[in-house]
Every structure is written in C-alpha cells, then in structure tokens.
Amino acid sequence: MAKRGKKYQSSVAELDKLKLYELTEAIDSMLKVKYSAFDESVDLAVKLGVDPRHADQMVRSTLVLPNGTGKSERVLVFAKGEKVQEALDAGADYAGGDEFVKQIQEGWLEFERTIATPDMMGTVGKIGRVLGPRGLMPNAKLGTVTFDVARVVGEIKSGKVDFKVDKAGIVHSMIGKASFGAEKIQENLLAFIDKILQLKPSSAKGVYLKGVTLTSTMGPGFKLDPLELRTLVKQA
C-alpha cells in the first residue's frame, strides 16, 4: 500500500474515526483540513441496506443538485434532423449521428455524458461495447434516451448526477466542489439524501440508510449520523 503524504497524515490526525459527525461539523472539518491547491470535489458514499443482486432492490436514478456539481461536463447527443440543432442550441458540445459513431469506433472519447433520441438507439447500439463499460451508454431509465434533448442537456449542464448502487450496496456521487462553501454543500447533500430515501425499495428490510461518509478528493472521510440526516431532510 502506498504511503500517505505528510499533509494527508496531518489532516487525518484531527479525525476521530469512531465518531459519527453532525453534518455542520463534518462539512466544516472537511473544509478545514483541505490542503490541496486545486478546487477539490466533494463526494458522498451512502451504504444502503439493500441487496443489489435482486432487481427489486436496485437503487438507481438521477438528480439535479440545487447548486450543481461545479463540474462542466462535455455532452454528446446522438440525434438527426432538427434535433441536432436543438441539442447544440441547448448547450450540447457535440450532436450528430453516424459521424460520431465512426469517431468513437476509431478511439475518440472526448465527452463525459451522452444523450440519444429513441430513433438513434439502433445506431448507438453499434458502439455499445465501447460506451457500456464506461458508463456512457444512453439509458431510458436515466432519462437520457428522449426526444426532449434540450431539457436533458440543460439538466446535465446545470448539475444533474446519475447514480447507481454498486455490488457492495453503496451509492457514490459527487455533490459539489470545496469552493461552494458549507451552506451550498449542505443543501446539495441533503437533496441527495432526500432522493435516496425516496427510492427505498419496498422489499428492502431492516435499516435502509446504514452509513454515510463525506470526503473531499484528497481528504479523509467523515462519517455522518444517518439519524440526524433523516431529521434534517424532514425539516428541509
């Protein structure tokens, strides 16, 4: 295992690994121990009491965060006809059909999100083996297979996040940047937790929200109190 640097060790020294932090304290502490020169991302890991092996316990959705993510993502829209210009006018970085399929087959991947109109999915299927493993395949369940391309492009550009519980029952998501400050980070975090709670599968038994950890890109993780988060969500 690689040895951590002195700055990281210094930040961890102030961390109580057994403590469940109150939300405001965790955010303030995370921002206090931040030591990198760049604007670190703020990430959330949520441990859920679900078994993702069962389809009826899969937790997966999208959310437009109140304050965005602070990250500008390049969007590629697979479309034809007037939908191409509609996508570009809405802020898409690229829009088109076969020409982009060919470029991707040749190794081009200069984008982070994709959208496709339903009539283009046959064409997009040709590069499914390239897009799928990278999490870039348009998906109707996530709203990225649609004729309403302008709306979806706008949502992505304004801070829409996609998330899905992994095999270990954990949902990971970026919820902002350190430069947002405590108030905006808290608003985004509570909006995300609220969405997670709304998605609780009816078949999930026992404790649903089992653990929540807040961290910045280079910093240590702060364990939050799930009960406090539930209360704050209800009060919001």
pLDDT tens digits along 199-209: 999 999 999 99
Query: Could you state, in order of their start, the residue ranges of all structural domains in the chain?
Result: 17-69+160-235, 75-157
Q: Do domains 17-69+160-235 and 75-157 have the same CATH topology?
A: no
pLDDT value, residue 9? 57
Query: What residue ranges of the chain have pLDDT lower than 70?
Result: 1-15
Pick the CATH number of 75-157 from 3.40.50.620, 3.40.640.10, 3.40.50.790, 1.10.10.10: 3.40.50.790
| Superfamily of 17-69+160-235 according to CATH | Ribosomal protein L1/L10, rRNA-binding domain (3.30.190.20)
pLDDT value, residue 21? 95
In whole angstroms, give the CA distance from residue 145 to residue 117: 5
Q: What is the H or E stretch that residue 79 is in?
A: none
Residues 6 or more apart in contact with residue 69 via CB below 8 angstroms: 159, 161, 174, 175, 176, 177
pLDDT value, residue 1? 45
pLDDT value, residue 53? 92
Taking phi first (over 0 means left), then psi (-120 to 50 degrees means alpha), and beta for anything else, what does residue 21 get? Answer: beta
Q: How many residues does the chain have?
A: 236
In whole angstroms, give the CA distance from residue 148 to residue 92: 13
pLDDT value, residue 71? 86
pLDDT tens digits along 77-125: 999 999 999 999 999 999 999 999 999 999 999 999 999 999 999 999 9
Name the percent of the chain lying above pLDDT 70. 94
pLDDT value, residue 13? 58
